Homo-oligomer: A and B are copies of this chain.
Amino acid sequence: MHKNDIKHLQRAIDLAAKYGSDGRHGPFGAVIARNGKVLAEGWNAVVDSFDPTAHAEMQAIRAAAENLKTHELSGCTLYASCEPCPMCLAAIYWARIDRIVYAATKEDAAAVGFDDSLLYEEMAKPWPARHVKSDQALQEKAARMMKSWAENPDRVHY
């Protein structure tokens, strides 16, 4: 653990408690910091913002990236009141965040009715075994389009 870790993690828990107390926000909070400086905070806003992706970690990542005018948060630490779900964990990777400090676990989340543990199981399954139904078509057409994209020397990779 580093200097200020507990302070930032406590703030993530405080955000979860504060916004969760009205019953219209899930009990989750997050803070993103770099070199000891807080860049953004987030709290769960799924219900009140009509956005199923508005988990605390996602909100903090989006706010930090917008504040810094970049899609890349290298060198940042994300503090989360609860272990991130697969959506938020994958977003952490896409944002190139280096480190996570979390408090409660996905089992604690499951105990109050959130599907995080189930989602981790679903991620690991092949399509036919997943709860969500799936079909595939036009693979070659789409793969060809992606190859054309990759051949553009001016593309911005991320």
Contacts and interface: CB of A to CB of B under 8 A. Distances in A.
Interface of A is mostly: mixed
Interface in A89-127: 89-105, 108-109, 111-113, 115, 119-120, 122-124
A66 B93 contact: no
A68 B50 CA distance: 8
Given A51-B65, A71-B47, A146 B58 contact: no
Interface residues of A, number: 91
B113 A93 contact: no
Contact of A132 (B16, B97, B108, B123): B97
A96 B111 CA distance: 20
Given A52-B91, A87-B91, A124-B124, A112 B6 contact: no
Given A120-B123, A123-B123, A146-B27, A93 B108 contact: no
A37 interface: no
Contacts of A119: 90, 93
A108 B156 CA distance: 18
Contacts of A147: 111-112
Interface string A1-37: 1000110011001001100110110110000000000
Interface of A: 1, 5-6, 9-10, 13, 16-17, 20-21, 23-24, 26-27, 46-47, 50-55, 58, 61-62, 65-66, 68-73, 81-82, 85-105, 108-109, 111-113, 115, 119-120, 122-124, 131-139, 141-143, 145-150, 152, 154-158
